[in-house]
Structure 1
Amino acid sequence: MPEYLTPGVYVEETSFRSRSIEGVATSTFGMTGLARYGPVPYFLTPPNWTRPLVMVPSPTLVTSSTEFERAFGGLEDVGTGLADQRNYLAYAARAFFGNGGRRLYVARVFPFTPAGAGAAAGAVTLAGNFSLLPLAPAPAVATFRSRWPGAAGNEFAISVSFQRSKNIVVPGTNGGPAVLKGVHEGAAVETFANAAAIPKDGVAPVSANVAIVAKAPDGSLGVRDGAGNVRVPAGAVTHLTVTVNIRWGGRRLDSYPGLELGATHPRGIGNVLQAENPADEQSLVWFDTGNMPPVELATGALVDGLNALADWTLLTGADEGQPLGPSDIAGDVSDPDDPKRAAHGLGALAEQEDIAIVAVPDAVRFVLADQLTVTNSLIAHCEAPRSYRIAVVDPPKDFSISNVRAFRSQFDSSYAALYYPWMDILDPTARPDPGAPRPLIQLPPSGFTAGIYARSDIARGVHKAPANEVVLGITGFRQNVTFDRQSVLNPEGVNALRFFEGRANRVWGARTMSSDPEWKYVNVRRLFLFLEHSIDRSTQWAVFEPNNERLWASIRQSIEDFLVTVWRTGALMGTKPEEAFFVRCDRTTMTQNDLDNGRMICLIGVAPTYPAEFVIFRIGQWTADAQQS
């Protein structure tokens, strides 16, 4: 009980209600695979750096196709040394959002040695020698580098322009010295003989006339003279800022106006375009000052180097790393004792608790043996303890009914579902001649079906089977699955995608890849994952509480209140709560040995609703004079 040591009146807050359990989100999707560009763990030590740059990004959350393309590039081909270079990850993201998905985590895979990322990233070095300090170990340079490795860096172009303000020198009051207005310490200024000599924007600055604003001991602003004193230059002074434009072909154009040359200014180029925590988290490039001395000592060289980038200048030196392998997709979890061993692939997705659906569209680009390996890694990822997610599995391309049955027979898991066949869509990257039909491309179904999972969850709930739903954004299926063909696939846990005249293209199956009839249906498995995850997340408060009847009653009440809410949505059977579930947490579920070892055991039983997979109407004849009983 609380301490009461001093006489007085004490007012305390208390609660007379049970702790509520909040249902977790079930529509969040996670994918890993190759992309044109984007965040990937790596580290590098540029020449003459005193410390390595360690980049350990988490999987990126995107909420639309536009966000995905800004973070990871477009639909163009990816990879090197691969027979199939289609950008399956980008197409799957597009399909997911096109079918109703809202939240997607992406963990980009880039097969390379993390320490070799410098060679895999594009760069452009500014002209000029910045080593103005004596005994510099090597010529210091400033460099624009692509922020993430990959051959797309060779398509980034940099253009720099300068802007000038009007004369910023203001005469001092009461005959005092002149002062600078509208600038802060670290800003760059350019001096002229008089205001008439100030050129229009577009004229390159003269490096000898540019200096960095510093603060004098009395707090006034000016520039340092040869003796190191801070004073206001004679003549006219303009505030000089830089605009850095970054272009990625015809796909993207980013502009960063009003940047300063001084390293201490918050809007300095190196501060806005930094590698680790830039203002724009999806920026394409970063500004590497290397071992450049304080910018006040190298302002002229920096101005000359930026002047050389007045026209568009491409970065160079980037590559696509090594060929993709199954181990790259499986990835690994992070090592807490080694910051250079970051989670990647499926291991990175494992660190995001709110993911409920997972797929690896890139699995289809491998030969069959490797695709089986990747699929097993995906299923193991979902079956891991406290994972609370289900896998959407793609069949190999152009597989027949017999082949896909053989492929399905390699797995047995209630945490995965297989969909067949592939989809046909109009190629969005093609530019056909006038009058010519746009070509078709073939895509695996995982992105489309994951979007349908999310759409069904949002509209109806996780207990509704994600089937009998229209597949959007396709022209058709690669194979025609008929009624008789599905009668072969459905009992084996292969979910058919079928076309129905007048009812469009639909998902026509909701079975897992499990041989256990108890976990035959996707919605039943996902309902239990939802219940388990929700109870797990919302009952953490009970850890280290006194393990007695008061705690047991509180736990029972919280879970019963939650399950009543779930029952009212139609997720559980029964006409009253007592028929839908039970919750036991008392002496019947725990022994004294359990109590002595700090274990509180709660037993929960629920009666899920199963989908009406077979709707049967029995019709018979009767005579007109027959009496209805």
Structure 2
Amino acid sequence: MPEYLTPGVYVEETSFRSKSIEGVPTSTFGMAGLTRYGPLPYALPDTPPVPVRPVLVTSYSEFERAFGDLSSPSDDGKANYLAHAARAFFANGGRRLYVARVFPWARDDQSGEIDMAQVDAAFARRAVTAPGAAGAGAPVAMPTWRARWPGSAGRRIRVAVARRLSRDRIVVDPVLGRARLVGVSELAAVVVLPRGTVPKRGEPIDPATVFVARRGADRVLGLDDGHGGVTAIDPQTSGYQLELDVMVASADGRTDTYTQLAPHPDHPRSVSRVLRAVDPADELAQVYLLPGSTEPPPPPAPAPVEPTAGQLAAALLAAGSQGYLTDGTEGNDGVPLAPEDLLGAEPDDEDPARPGTGLNALAELDDIALVATPDVVRMTDVASVKTATDNLIGHCERLRYRMAVVDPPAESSLSQVRAFRAAFDTSYAALYYPWMQIIDPTQRPDPGSAPATLMLPPSGFVAGVYARSDGNRGVHKAPANEVVLGLTKFETAVNSGRQAVLNPEGINALRFFPGRSNRVWGARTMSSDPEWRYVNVRRLFIYLEHSIDHSTQWAVFEPNNERLWRDLRQTIEDFLLVVWRTGALMGGKPEEAFFVRCDRSTMSQNDLDNGRLICEIGVAPTYPAEFVIFRIGQWTADARRP
């Protein structure tokens, strides 16, 4: 309580209203799987750990910039299912997508540990050649351009470096005859030539003519003499500030340009700082500059030395025309994708540099409401598909506030998809059948022949429909009887007779209706419990539980008395009243739609003594009108109305 010790007027702020509950997002989608390129947590012997979290993208163009195009991400030649799912998600109304890239590192057959030699080989690179030695026979430890992320897509990256020279920055005082640098920042590289000499376009840079601008003891800019001292500027010279423009282009059409970079490593805009492995200026940069090794070689070879700013600039300019990066593999050495790869490793709570991977990386994000792993369909054996799907369902059940969209195995017949569905029982997942056919966007159409087509699993399309339905109507509306966009046809034509077999078993059909297009025609979970039969009921409860959980954290450690109970009741009732008014709950009045109890009837003295506050909430959800029945009969004109 405040203390009143001195006589006077005290103005205090207080609140006379209940706290409000804000609804959580319901359409944020999360996927884990293989991509062509992109962010991935890793650790190399010569690079600090790169702790990458799942990347949020809000459009397919952002996805392409971060994770590459639709080309196959592995050597098996199969489609890039995750990229196609992202494309379908945004095409059908999705807005927010988290992607956790999966990279199946090769492991030692005996120990099961990651083979670091294979890890190193997964990164494409191109060495920068030194133009000359920095001492009498001493080798120069020149850096290497290296793909920032592993994968064979790194071989499609090309780095080009161009120079940028300013006008003459050396100004001579006509009275005193002294020269000084103008318009040059400290640690900038300056090309010093005889007075009046202008560098020719395209002429190579001589490292011996490149100096670094430094401030001496008198705080006047001079030129570094290479031995830790600063020399005055010769009035008979001209100085041109040297800056580098780095252009990084990949074969899929992405081009990044980093301008006005300095060769000196301590400059705020140095090329080694802007393009570094950990926390670069562009978090989605495709390459980084790996410093050269300065470990002393076995005697009698001399120890390598760091390159000067002139040597580095000259080498980068010369290496800029050497073509694409080389090497770079998929890392798994031909090993197929395993369920453990998609599940990923759990984060190390004691080491922030070792975050989770795969689905375990998505577990660290609180706002994801939908999850899928389209690459499960890459697995050919039934046991692996079952295990990977169990991992996805277990992920949602453990976190409670998200739902899985499950894909059936490839080329599943009616009997096969029923057998697949029979292996699961959960209200936190929904299965959709069949696959979708699209025109393959990776193939150039051949004039005179039919366009190439591609079969894709439905999870990306369906997740987009979920997001669109949530935005247009709300999470309480069953995401069914909604048009699916971006496909030519379904792999299998599901008619009423076939759906009569699928629907009771919790397999949601995707059907074509003449004049009404392709539609989602089912809204059931994979649960045998009638209470949780429908997708919208489970998702409504996820929304309510998550919103209440998120917005009532203020109550922890408050005095557990009638005042707190009253505030919580009012807060939750106000929230449920808004939910009821949107049509999410049954009942003609609020008393019929929900109740909130938080008083002595829900808590015993033992609960209070042990610090427990128990609040009971009951809601009456709306169920979808899955079967609309009209009864029509004959009656005569003079008959009494029934």
Fold match (TM-score > 0.5): yes
Q: Report the Cα offset of residue 438 of structure 1.
A: 1.1
Q: Distance in 2 between matches of 1:181 and 1:296?
A: 29
Preserved contact between residue 185 and residue 221 of structure 1 (Cα < 8 Å): yes
1:210 matches 2:223: no
Matched residues in 2 for 1:551 and 1:176: separation? 82
How do 1:575-594 and structure 2 match up within 5 A?
Answer: 575-594=588-607
Q: Distance in 1 between matches of 2:320 and 2:39?
A: 29
Map of 1:58-457 to 2, 5 A cutoff? 58-80=53-75, 82=76, 85-112=78-105, 113=114, 115=116, 117-128=119-130, 132=134, 140-172=141-173, 175=176, 177-195=178-196, 197-225=197-225, 228-233=229-234, 234-291=236-293, 298-322=308-332, 323=335, 324-339=337-352, 341-367=354-380, 368-384=382-398, 386-457=399-470
Does the C-alpha gap of structure 1 residues 389 and 114 become closer, same or farther in structure 2, counting only changes over 3 Å? Answer: farther
Q: Say whether residues 1:553 and 2:566 are aligned partners.
A: yes
Cα shift at 1:10: 1.9
CA–CA distance in 2 between the matches of 1:28 and 1:130? 54
CA distance in 2, matches of 1:338, 1:134: 44
Summarize deviations over 1:236-261 as a string: whole Å, max 9, x none.
Answer: 11111111111111421111121111
3-state SS of 2:273 partner: helix
The residue identity in structure 2 corresponding to 1:126 is V
* SS across alignment from 1:175: coil
The 2-side partners of 1:212 and 1:462 are apart by: 62
Farther-moved stretch of structure 1 (355-364 vs 239-248): 239-248
How many Å apart are 1:174 and its aligned residue? 6.0
- Report if aligned partners of 1:585, 1:601 keep a CA contact under 8 Å in 2: yes
1-structure distance, mates of 2:521, 2:205: 67
Amino acid at match of 2:385: Q
Q: Do 2:131 and 2:314's aligned partners in 1 also have CA atoms closer than 8 Å?
A: no
**Structure-1 residue corresponding to 2:620:** 607
- Inter-CA distance 555–174: structure 2 relative to 1 (3 Å threshold): farther
Aligned partner letter, 1:299: A
Cα 1:35–1:626 shift into 2, 3 Å: same
Distance 1:508 1:274 in 2: 50
Q: How far off is 1:173 after superposition?
A: 8.1
Q: Distance in 2 between matches of 1:175 and 1:330?
A: 73
**Contact residue 35 and residue 67 of structure 2 kept, 8 A:** yes
Shift of 1:133: 8.0
Distance in 1 between the 2:261 and 2:607 partners? 64
Deviation at 1:625, TM superposition (A): 2.9
- Unmatched 5+ stretches in structure 1: 47-51
CA contact under 8 A between 2:27 and 2:470: conserved in structure 1?
A: yes
Q: In structure 2, what residue type is equivalent to 1:9?
A: V
* 1:206 CA displacement: 1.7
| 8 A contact 1:188–1:211 mirrored in 2 | yes
Shift of 1:35: 0.6
Do 2:42 and 2:50's aligned partners in 1 also have CA atoms closer than 8 Å?
Answer: yes
Partner of 2:300: none
Distance 1:173 1:559, change over 3 A: farther
Distance 1:114 1:236 in 2: 54
Residues 1:570 and 2:563 aligned together: no
**One-letter amino acid of the counterpart of residue 171, structure 1:** V
1:461-498 CA-to-partner distances (Å, cap 9, x unmatched) read 00000000000000000000001100110000000000
Letter in 2 for 1:162: R
Q: Distance in 2 between matches of 1:193 and 1:377?
A: 70
Structure 1 CA distance for aligned equivalents of residues 259 and 422 of structure 2: 58
SS at the partner of 1:145? Answer: strand
Change (3 A) 1:130 1:538: farther
Q: 1:162 to 1:624 in 2, by over 3 A?
A: same
Q: Could you tell me whether the CA contact under 8 Å between 1:162 and 1:204 is conserved in 2?
A: no
Per-residue deviation, 1:176:
6.6
Instruction: State whether structure 2 residue 67 is matched by structure 1 residue 53.
Output: no
1:518 Cα shift?
A: 0.2
What amino acid is the match of 2:185?
Answer: H
SS at match of 1:211: strand
- The DSSP-based 3-state class of the residue aligned with 1:54 is strand
Which runs of 5 or more structure 2 residues have no equivalent in the other structure?
106-113, 295-302
CA distance in 2, matches of 1:349, 1:310: 38
Seen in structure 2, the aligned counterparts of structure 1 residues 12 and 132 have a Cα distance that, compared at 3 Å, is farther
Task: Report if the CA contact (8 A) 1:129-1:141 is conserved.
Answer: no
Contact 1:42/1:114, CA 8 A, preserved across alignment: no
Equivalent AA in structure 2 for residue 483 of structure 1: S
Taking only aligned residues, the RMSD between alpha carbons, in angstroms, comes to 2.1
Judge conservation of contact 1:42–1:115 (CA < 8 Å) in 2. no
Corresponding residue number in structure 1 for 2:31: 31
Pair 1:125–1:550, CA change in 2 (3 A):
same
The residue number in structure 1 matching 2:297 is none
Q: For residues 242 and 428 of structure 1, what CA distance do their matches in structure 2 show?
A: 37
CA contact (8 A) 2:68 2:252 kept: no
Q: Aligned with 2:319: secondary structure?
A: coil
Change (3 A) 1:14 1:115: farther
Question: Alignment partner for residue 471 of structure 1, among 484, 496, 505?
Answer: 484
Aligned to 1:18: 18
For these two proteins, the number of residue pairs brought into alignment is 619
The whole-number CA distance in structure 2 between the counterparts of 1:574 and 1:416 is: 28
CA distance in 2, matches of 1:281, 1:332: 23
